[in-house]
Structure 1
Amino acid sequence: YPPSVPSLPPGLQRDLWQDVYGQQLAISIILRALQAHTQNKHPTKPLVMSFHGSNGNGKTFISKIIAKNLYPQGVRSRFLHQFHPTLHFSNALNVPLYKAQLQNWIQGNVSICPSSLFIFAEMDHMPYGLIDAVTPFLYHQQAFKGLSYGKAIFIFISNIGGDRINEKMLEAWRKNSTREEIQLKDLEPLLASTAFRNRDSGFWHSDLIQRNLIDYYIPFLPLERQHVIECIKAELRSRGYNQHPEDVIQQIGSELTDFPPEEKIFSSHGCKTVATKVALHY
């Protein structure tokens, strides 16, 4: 994999390049973003990234790898804060209360650890208007309410724009282009506008987008059969099966659905159901 970036934990780069399949574009952007952020000794703005793509393509997996390598206690660190709308913000009638609680939580935890990591999962299910509670913390500023938030990192995760990414990939494939030729500029404006205009999304008409507070809209491309096969091998290794018959691997791969129905180029669910399918055979 590419040369290491001295300012980042070596384990972060190793884990991303070795354990994530088919997401070279996303990984390269994330590493550059983290490098620029960590090299700045006195940042005036938090790093804000939004991960977009269909289920099973590695968005949550990569966010966990980042947390694992940023803190000694990894995903168990008290400086990692994860929010799930169905768990933490389940009642849309309580949005004003949730907004106040969220702002207090961010302020309190950044006061303890300026380099806190905040991950917001399932943005497509976030109640309308709630996420704007984080807007005041994301501007370029020396301090807000007496605290500097510049060293913090915010990650938003959603399936929003996944269909548009898939359409672009299919279009590129039909033009005989490779996934390596896809660039961020081909997808980033599309993802921003799709998120902003999607009424079913927590980003709908959000100040975060309108005020350009999200630094990177990162596309996660649909996985091809070769990537899913690697996921199957990794799952088998995690279960202690270091020697695995090729025909069994291919059999498991054939049980996963692909799209479009005619060409069957991309995996419909990425690697999301791989563990379940492997469990049926071992």
Structure 2
Amino acid sequence: MDGRKTPVKSSHKLSLLSSPVRAVIRLRRTAHILKKGLLPGDPQAKLLQRQISLGRAKVGAASTSLLGQASFESSKYFTFDTSAQPTPQRGSKRKKRCKNPRVLYPDSSRKYLPVEHKSKAKRCLLLLVGIVCFQILNAIENLDDNLLKYDLDGLEKTMRREVFGQALAVENIIGLLKDYLATHIHNKPLVMSFNGPSGVGKSHVGWLLAKHFRSVMDHHSVLHYFTMHRCPDPASVYDCQSELSKTISDMVTQAEIEEKIPVFILDEVESMSPALLETLGGFFQKNQTNEFLNAVYILISNLGGDEIMDVVLQNLLQPQGKMEELRTALRPVLGHLHPLWTTVEIVPFTLLEKNHVQSCFYEEMMSEGIYPDPSHIERLAGQLNYYTQGGQEFAISGCKQVVSKVNLL
């Protein structure tokens, strides 16, 4: 009896143990199939399940033999060790999902673009550009204000109306004055030298300049100096030097206080002694105080008249080429007389033609109240002497004798 009951108990214990084992094996097989990405009903899944069941059967037999030898009476609960299971490797390839890069918006929705944040640096740059433009505009307006104070446009109209045959000289004078009088800060004074033969209008231009600047400023800012009247005696050169130096210093100092630029018109410079020229040249230097740098000096003389006459009669150049040729011919001659002419702006006055002389007669007769009969003007102009060159007639004495001829009428 005892021998018969022992097999029944062992088989009963094996059946109780095999049911949980089979359930675990079935779950792991299903998990393995799902892990492979196969459905349970697929043929491949069935084949794989059959292979796993065969392998599990061998493992079950081995485990049964092992379990037969061990005692299961002491174990109340069934547990299994997961440490023996292979851990999945991180490097295993997973099936990537296909993502559609296109984003489709419904028709009823509103699309919002990303907001662009404006940089503050652009605003600073625009502000800087605006400030620079405002400063440039302000500087231009200040230049215009300075020129309006001297009314150089009115001066140009007057000179073009009353000066005959010297259009290039007038243009040169106005250009130099506009460039210099546009600002009150300079590194040297403006010195212009009017050179040419007698009777071509140099002194007349000096008289117009003195009249104009006295009208826009005052008499204390303009000096019209005639050498033969102020310093007729060569023995009194020292007194002439002291007087001229004191006059220029006082005028320059007063003009600096009033923020004006004084004008000094010095006529008959060819009659000045070397000592007086040396005194005058001392005011033309750069290394002076600020008030002496803000001044306009105009030297009027007949020096270089013969050279101008030779250039005009021999070459008969075009107007612009004539001015450059005249400056080239005059500069070494004037520089040989005194060094002060090496740094001045030379303005040559050319010979006057016969029609320019007729205009001088017309203007003088109108100023004296005499009817300007054209035949009468032609007869008076024919009484003067002329150079004839290339079919053109140039007056030897210019308009010098016009006033005396009109006074005889």
Normalised TM-score (structure 1):
0.83
Instruction: Sort the Cα spacing of 1:129 and 1:104 in 2 relative to 1 into closer, same or farther, 3 A.
Output: same
* Aligned-partner SS, 1:64: helix
1:200 is matched with none
Instruction: Sort the Cα spacing of 1:35 and 1:231 in 2 relative to 1 into closer, same or farther, 3 A.
Output: same
Pairing of 1:1-282 with structure 2 (within 5 A): 7=147, 8-72=151-215, 77-114=219-256, 115-141=261-287, 143=289, 148-173=291-316, 177-178=317-318, 180-197=319-336, 204=337, 206-209=338-341, 212-214=342-344, 216-241=345-370, 243-259=371-387, 265-281=393-409
Q: 1:73 deviation in Å?
A: 6.8
* Aligned-partner SS, 1:111: helix
Instruction: Sort the Cα spacing of 1:260 and 1:130 in 2 relative to 1 into closer, same or farther, 3 A.
Output: farther
Greater fraction helix: 2
Residues 105-126 of structure 1 show CA distances to partners (whole Å, capped at 9, x for unaligned) of 2111111124222122112211
CA distance, structure 2, for counterparts of residue 245 and residue 105 of structure 1: 47
Rg larger in 1 or in 2?
Answer: 2
Question: Does the CA contact (< 8 Å) of 2:152 and 2:178 recur in 1?
Answer: no
Instruction: Sort the Cα spacing of 1:245 and 1:98 in 2 relative to 1 into closer, same or farther, 3 A.
Output: closer
Q: 1:260 deviation in Å?
A: 5.0
* Aligned-partner SS, 1:26: helix
Unaligned runs of 5+ in 2: 1-142
Question: Does the CA contact (< 8 Å) of 2:234 and 2:273 recur in 1?
Answer: yes
- Opposite residue 45 of structure 1, the aligned amino acid is K
Question: Does the CA contact (< 8 Å) of 1:25 and 1:183 recur in 2?
Answer: no
CA distance, structure 2, for counterparts of residue 240 and residue 100 of structure 1: 44
Identity across aligned pairs (percent)? 26
Could you tell which deviates more after superposition, 154-163 or 253-262? Answer: 253-262
Q: 1:218 deviation in Å?
A: 0.8
CA distance, structure 2, for counterparts of residue 160 and residue 60 of structure 1: 13
Q: 1:213 deviation in Å?
A: 3.1
Instruction: Sort the Cα spacing of 1:278 and 1:208 in 2 relative to 1 into closer, same or farther, 3 A.
Output: same
- Opposite residue 35 of structure 1, the aligned amino acid is K
Residues 185-226 of structure 1 show CA distances to partners (whole Å, capped at 9, x for unaligned) of 2111322221233xxxxxx2x2313xx331x11110010001
Question: Does the CA contact (< 8 Å) of 1:85 and 1:121 recur in 2?
Answer: yes
Q: 1:104 deviation in Å?
A: 1.6
Could you tell which deviates more after superposition, 248-257 or 129-138? Answer: 129-138
* Aligned-partner SS, 2:292: coil
CA distance, structure 1, for counterparts of residue 287 and residue 239 of structure 2: 26
Q: 1:9 deviation in Å?
A: 2.7
* Aligned-partner SS, 1:82: strand
Question: Does the CA contact (< 8 Å) of 1:132 and 1:207 recur in 2?
Answer: no
* Aligned-partner SS, 1:156: strand
1:201 is matched with none
Q: 1:22 deviation in Å?
A: 0.5
Superposition RMSD in Å: 2.4
CA distance, structure 2, for counterparts of residue 25 and residue 261 of structure 1: 21
Q: 1:67 deviation in Å?
A: 2.0
- Opposite residue 195 of structure 1, the aligned amino acid is L
Could you tell which deviates more after superposition, 229-238 or 128-137? Answer: 128-137
Question: Does the CA contact (< 8 Å) of 2:213 and 2:222 recur in 1?
Answer: no
* Aligned-partner SS, 1:50: strand
Q: 1:142 deviation in Å?
A: 5.9
Unaligned runs of 5+ in 1: 198-203
Instruction: Sort the Cα spacing of 1:43 and 1:251 in 2 relative to 1 into closer, same or farther, 3 A.
Output: same
Higher relative contact order (CA 8 A, sep 6+): 1
Q: 1:268 deviation in Å?
A: 1.2
Question: Does the CA contact (< 8 Å) of 2:196 and 2:308 recur in 1?
Answer: yes
Could you tell which deviates more after superposition, 6-15 or 25-34? Answer: 6-15
